[in-house]
Amino acid sequence: MSTAAVFLSEVPGWFLWTGVFVPVTALLLLLIAVLERVCVLFIRLPSLFQQRKSWP
C-alpha cells in the first residue's frame, strides 16, 4: 500500500470532515462571495466615475 492509502485508512472520518472538507468548503464559498462583490463593484465603477464628473 502507498503511504497516502495507509494514512487515509488510519485517519478517522470525523477528522477528515471537520478538519479538511468543512474548512476548505467554507473558504471556497467565502472566496466566491468576495469575488462576486468585487465583480459587481468593477461593473459599477465606470458609472461612479461618470457621476463624479457631473458634480460641481
Residue 18 lies in a domain: yes
| Cα→Cα distances 26→14, 30, 32, 41, 53, Å | 17, 6, 10, 23, 41
| Total domains in the fold of the chain | 1
pLDDT of res. 33: 96
What is the span of the domain harbouring residue 39? 11-54
Residue 6 lies in a domain: no
How far is Cα 47 from Cα 29, in angstroms, rounded to an integer? 28
pLDDT of res. 11: 84
pLDDT tens, 1-56?
789 888 888 888 888 888 889 999 999 999 999 999 999 888 887 776 666 665 55
Residue 4 lies in a domain: no
Task: Note the pTM of the prediction, 2 decimals.
Answer: 0.62
